[in-house]
Structure 1
Amino acid sequence: MRYSLRQNVAAEPVIAGWYGWSYLLPPQVLARFAHNRFTRIVESYLDNPQVHATAVRQRRMHGGPWIHAHEHHDAIRDWYRETAPRRERLDELFEAIRQLEEEILPRRRGECLDDVYQELPRPLAGRVEVFYGRDNRTADYRFIEPLMYASEYYDESWQQVRLRPITEDAREFALTTPMLEYTPDQLLIDVPLNSPLLDTIFRGNLTADELDELAARLGLHGERAGRFRAYFEPAPEPAGPPAGDDVLEYAGHACVFARYEGTTFLVDPVLSYAGYPGGAPGRFTFADLPDRIDHLLITHNHQDHMLFETLLRIRHRVGRVLVPRSSNASLVDPGLGGILRRLGFRDVVEVDDLETLPCGSAEVVALPFLGEHGDLRIRSKTGWLLRFGERSVLFAADSTNIAPTMYAKVAEVIGPVDTVFIGMESTGAAASWIYGPLYGEPLDRRTDQSRRLNGSNFPQAREIVETLEPGSVYVYAMGLEPWMGIVMAIDYDESHPAIVDSDLLVQHVRDKGGTAERLHLRRTLPI
């Protein structure tokens, strides 16, 4: 008999004790999050766990700096003490960055910067480049990212995976709670996220002996090995050749699967689990994916579009990954290609604006993406236009049409588009919700609230539709699916601006004779 991982077992990535996502992998960014966010959350919790227990029960507090495992005070306290040496190393890197930003660079106002390299703190020496902006007065810097990954501050021993069964669609917010073994059905495994052993777990179809050998190679013995084996079940019989029809399959949030003339695509993969009672009927899960995903496309570096938990589980199926080019190598815009390569993906291609790539039977074009990033200098974002023969589909993600003339100019290059997917979370979180730990100093509340992570509102989305002239328009990436709660904190009702705006767009397109829908859970669509 052969065994595969049960469909309801999640493998949650862990970096330095926290739910792993892309801004925690580069060591310089992790250092900022550890010092400016995580340490403050844990110390607040240890000082008064009841405050956290009260906060997580209030819907308006969802997504805030609260620990959800508030009943496990002793376990969190012990973990925090045991990991103090790890924080000391990250604090050393944090302090070096602070000195460069707040003490060394501000003293330069146009004179030669050569002597800065002699002043660099040890963690940054030989790992950054300094330069002036175009005003020739404001000094700035960039990380030489491969050297940061090669430093002692990038430590794969800080990486783990936590296995645990999922019992319902809804997922509890994970970004502010240490990832420990809180219950007997959870198992933390010390394994780098790029380890081929994870591919072996997710590929499955293991004999009993192979399963035992895998447990041993993961350092699991005795009761822990038994717990690991319990996550597996008899592998199903092969289903035979997969269906080959051309299809667009909405899988939830911003995730869409496409197959055209045998070539497969997956955009912004975030998938739900199966194998438990009471889930949404017919939802698209990992089990619905084909054995091979030829092209994986990621629009931008936010956790609801580039979810490590899904990426790790499908890595062994993926051929090539297409990502937007990043040219900044800054704290707020670390290289997306470098992150994915260190996550274990081997064929990663960075694509620039309006660059066209042949992808099997189709063609992919990267389109400019404005907004939704708090007015920060972030380059690693793109909309993907897929050309399936004479038909074209645009995945605009959370692109905010703040400059309508841009889409008009893009349309002059690419022509009309048949189908548009557009995100309309028109009132997003304040910019500091993601980027706050990376700021040199906190934004005042008024400024922070003005720089929200918004998708397009109705007038902006209507302008896109009228410019590109699609026959079909689908509103997506709204965080409506219950499993998105692990990384998002959205509470919609009928009066929420995003619901009002998307309803208006759907009605507008239908009034003009087109097809329009706000997508939810799963939808099979024609190419």
Structure 2
Amino acid sequence: LFLRGRPETIRPSRALPWVKTDLKALSAAAPTIVWFGHSSLLIKTGQGNILIDPVFSNHAGPVPGLVRAFKGTTHYHAEDMPPIDVLIISHDHYDHLDYRTLKKLRSKIKTAIVPVGVGANLVYWGFDRKNIIELNWNGSVSLPGGLNITATPAQHKSNRSYSTVNKTLWASYVIQAGQYRLFYSGDSGYGPHFKQIGDKYGPFDLALLECGQYSPNWPWTHLLLEQPAQAAADLQARLLQPVHWGKFVAANHPWNEPIEKLIPAAEKLDVQLNIPRIGEPYTLGDPPKTLIWWDFE
């Protein structure tokens, strides 16, 4: 069923544009965010470096070549990363928790924050248990550098095989770095939890929200079409940056449809967008990235 009716534009016809940034030399007074495609993000703050759901492999999943990365999206590697104070994992799906990437990153990571149950994967891959913090929803941890991380609800599921369905938790996250508040959705369908999180932890300077790999066949687990804009409004976010797009195919929509649908929805709700290229740094407080770089099939 998933393979039927796929449009030719499900994958871009050419390589995605990208920006080469020296991530180790990158610095700014305010949090600076670098997107690597899909949901992989580096956030450099004065309180520490945060790496979210890194997948630097050329495919996502246990079978090489089955879920292939788009051309132009695999220029960044574990070796390019600065020392990582905090690794954040949202859930155990292969496009968010990548064995190959984490094995290469392990020596760079001080602390890993994961939902309940996900830590066992990291221990099995050689991470020290004492450096792993598992959080339940609304659980928080304050780290020595001054970062505060809170796991918040998400509407999704988990599994790395048919025998492990929903054996581990999934989560979104509130990140507080000094005066700045950021929200990362992980994977989540739309629900009242966005407004509840906004009321409890907002407003947010930036919301990093999933935008893509949706289908009417699974509306409960991913945001559909215009819903990221509504979720950003619910969260009281000053700025929305879409993630979970621009690298892998996990649904039957054209590769750039999520952004084409998001822009008018955001305008209608007066939600400001930031849509950088892969590897292009954005610092909070700067004008949002508005270059239309995705306008091709």
Give me the TM-score of the superposition, normalised by structure 2.
0.71
Q: Deviations over 1:184-242 (max 9, x none)?
A: xxxxxxxxxxxxxxxxxxxxxxxxxxxxxxxxxxxxxxxxxxxxxxxxxxxxxxx9x84
Determine the structure 2 residue equivalent to 1:349.
Answer: 133
> 5+ unaligned residues in a row in structure 2: which ranges?
7-14, 17-21, 59-70, 160-164, 285-297
Q: How far does residue 500 in structure 1 lie from its aligned partner after superposition? A: 4.2
SS in 2 for 1:252: coil
Give 3-state SS (helix, strand or coil) of 1:311's partner.
helix
Give a deviation string over 1:344-395, Cα, whole Å, max 9, x none.
1111110111112113232111110113559x65551011111122211111
Partner of 1:337: 119
Equivalence map 1:123-522=2 (5 Å): 242-245=25-28, 246-261=31-46, 263-271=48-56, 280=72, 283-290=75-82, 292-325=83-116, 335-346=117-128, 347-359=131-143, 360-371=145-156, 377=166, 379-401=168-190, 403-404=191-192, 406-425=193-212, 427-428=214-215, 450-451=217-218, 454-478=221-245, 480-481=246-247, 484=248, 488-490=249-251, 492-493=253-254, 499-510=256-267, 513-518=270-275, 521-522=278-279
Count of aligned pairs: 249
Q: 1:222 — aligned with what?
A: none
Deviations 1:73-92 (A, max 9, x none): xxxxxxxxxxxxxxxxxxxx
Is the 8 Å Cα contact of residues 476 and 519 (structure 1) preserved in structure 2? no
Distance 1:299 1:503, change over 3 A: same
Residues 317 and 392 (structure 1 numbering): CA distance in 2 closer, same or farther, change over 3 Å?
same
* 1:433 alignment counterpart: none
Cα separation, partners in 2 of 1:420 and 1:458, compared to 1, 3 Å: same
Would the alpha carbon gap of residues 348 and 384 (structure 1) be closer, same or farther in structure 2, given more than 3 Å must change? same
Q: Which has the larger radius of gyration?
A: 1
Unaligned runs of 5+ in 1: 1-55, 61-168, 171-238, 274-278, 326-334, 429-448
Q: How far apart, in 1, do the equivalents of 2:104 and 2:259 lie?
A: 32
Partners of 2:89 and 2:112 lie apart in 1 by 8
Given the superposition, is the C-alpha separation of residues 517 and 342 from structure 1 closer, same or farther in structure 2, using an over 3 Å criterion? same
Amino acid at match of 2:53: D
Alpha-carbon offset, residue 251 of structure 1: 1.5
CA distance in 2, matches of 1:373, 1:312: 21
2: distance between equivalents of 1:255 and 1:500? 20
Structure 1 stretches of 4+ with a deviation exceeding 2 A read 241-246, 279-288, 371-374, 376-379, 406-412, 424-428, 449-454, 458-463, 488-494, 499-515, 517-523
Distance in 2 of aligned mates of 1:244 and 1:475: 23
Residues 408 and 522 (structure 1), Cα distance of their counterparts in 2 relative to 1, 3 Å cut: same
Structure with greater helix share of residues: 1
CA contact (8 A) 1:506 1:517 kept: no
In the aligned structure 1, how far is the partner of 2:167 from the partner of 2:220? Answer: 13
- SS at the partner of 1:319? strand
Q: 1:311 and 1:377, CA in 2 relative to 1: closer, same or farther beyond 3 A?
A: closer
- Give the 3 Å change call, closer, same or farther, for CA 281–307 of structure 1 in structure 2: closer
State whether residues 368 and 382 of structure 1, in contact with CA within 8 Å, keep that contact through their aligned partners in structure 2: yes
Task: Show the counterpart of 1:446.
Answer: none
Partner of 1:137: none
SS of residue matched to 1:295: strand
SS of 1:516 mapped into structure 2: coil
TM-score (ref. length: structure 1): 0.42
Question: Per-residue CA shift, 1:394-428, capped at 9, x if unaligned?
Answer: 11022111x32x22222232121121111123535
Distance in 2, matches of 1:509 and 1:262, equals: 31
Task: Report percent identity of matched pairs.
Answer: 17
- Equivalent position SS for 1:463: helix
Structure 1 residues 491 and 284, CA gap change in structure 2 (3 angstroms): farther
- Whole-Å separation in 1 of the counterparts to 2:108 and 2:282: 23
SS in 1 for 2:186: coil
Q: 1:287 to 1:492 in 2, by over 3 A?
A: farther
Secondary structure of the residue aligned to 2:36 is: strand
Cα distance change, pair 519–399 in 1 and its aligned pair in 2 (3 A)? farther
What's the Cα RMSD here? 3.5
| Structure with greater contact order relative to length (CA < 8 Å, sep ≥ 6) | 2
Instruction: Give the alignment of 1:33-44 within 5 angstroms.
Output: none
CA distance in 2, matches of 1:316, 1:260: 20
1:61-100 alignment runs, 5 A limit: none
- Other-structure match for 2:67: none
SS in 1 for 2:281: strand
Flag the 1:317–1:502 CA change in 2: closer, same or farther, 3 A. Answer: same
Q: Pick closer, same or farther for the CA change 1:242–1:451 going to 2, 3 Å.
A: closer
Deviations 1:148-191 (A, max 9, x none): xxxxxxxxxxxxxxxxxxxxx89xxxxxxxxxxxxxxxxxxxxx
